[in-house]
Amino acid sequence: MYEKLIHVGLTNTEAKIYLMLLDLSKAQAGVLSRRTGIHRRSIYDALDRLIEKGLVSYIMENEKRFYIAEDPKRIQELINEKKNEIDSILPTLHAQFLEHKSKQETLFYRGKEGLKNIFEDQIREGKPVYIIGASHHAKEQLKYYIPHYTNKRIKNKIILHALYAGKRHKTPIPLAKCRYLPDKFATLVSTNIWGQKAAIMLWLPHDPVAIVIKQPDIAKTFKNYFDILWDIAKE
């Protein structure tokens, strides 16, 4: 019980005094000091705080002050008051969080699970996706995930524009336009562009990595590169 009172915001001393007052019904500060082993000055300071919190009151008898514990239901009221205070500042905190998040221009991802976050973000954005150096390695390394990504992409009507180098796909990619560049353009690096973001992915065999840049000018520049290559590529 003592530890739980501390968890709801009472100090060590306050919790001891409050529980002692519940046992004694009423007591002077000196009695509380002797019973708890806490210095009298600390007892007075803690009692003042408990009075401010509405957990303790006092009465005067023969010009002596006796302290009394208030109804424990007041503890729930304190918890509710703290919750209301937090609720009142949450909108401001959330706005600050979103402002900070919107300024995050570069994110680094590592591993297959990390790269899935990039594809999921493409689904959330719902913008057409343009890929320079579309990699066959993506399908190999994410063979269980890519079908889910494709289904979500189709459901959200997100068109894929992919520039491959070298070998062609044996089967058409749903809701996608593909063109092919000569073998000399083949690389482990591919660039995805969607909305105001660009992701540079390095498809290492066992540990793919990627950098996502959220910056309109950079995304536009990569899109311009895509358009130039798209014009010289073959269907």
DSSP string, the chain: -HHHHHHTT--HHHHHHHHHHHHHSEE-HHHHHHHHT--HHHHHHHHHHHHHTTSEEEEEETTEEEEEEPPTHHHHHHHHHHHHHHHHHHHHHHHHHHHHHHH--EEEEEHHHHHHHHHHHHHHHT--EEEET--HHHHHHTTTTHHHHHHHHHHTTPPEEEEEESSPPSSPPTTEEEEEE-GGG--SEEEEEETTEEEEEE--SS--EEEEEE-HHHHHHHHHHHHHHHHHSB-
Mean pLDDT of 55-78: 90
Looking at residue 143, its pLDDT comes to: 85
Buried b (16+ CB within 10 A) or exposed e, 175-198: ebebbbbeeebeeeebbbbbbebb
**Confidence class for position 158, pLDDT limits 50, 70, 90:** very high
pLDDT tens readout for residues 101-155:
655 578 899 998 999 999 999 999 999 999 999 877 777 888 889 999 999 999 9
Give the fold, CATH level 3, of 2-74: Arc Repressor Mutant, subunit A (1.10.10)
List every span in the chain annotated with CATH 1.10.10.10.
2-74
Q: 54: alpha, beta or left, given left = phi > 0 and alpha = psi -120 to 50?
A: left
Mean pLDDT of 62-89: 88
Looking at residue 201, its pLDDT comes to: 94
Looking at residue 104, its pLDDT comes to: 57
CB 131 within 8 A of CB 161: yes
Looking at residue 101, its pLDDT comes to: 61
**Confidence class for position 175, pLDDT limits 50, 70, 90:** very high
**Mean per-residue pLDDT of the chain:** 88
Looking at residue 82, its pLDDT comes to: 83
Query: Looking at the predicted structure, is the pLDDT value of residue 63 above 60?
Result: yes
Looking at residue 215, its pLDDT comes to: 87
Looking at residue 5, its pLDDT comes to: 81
List every span in the chain annotated with CATH 3.30.870.10.
105-232
Within 8 A by CB and 6+ apart from 27, the residues are: 20, 21, 35, 66, 67
Looking at residue 102, its pLDDT comes to: 57
Q: What is the CATH number of domain 105-232?
A: 3.30.870.10
**Statement: the pTM of the whole predicted model exceeds 0.75:** no
Looking at residue 77, its pLDDT comes to: 87
**Confidence class for position 2, pLDDT limits 50, 70, 90:** low
Looking at residue 186, its pLDDT comes to: 86
Please state which of the ranges 47-51, 72-76, 134-138 shows the lowest mean pLDDT: 134-138
| Greater pLDDT, 224 or 235 | 224
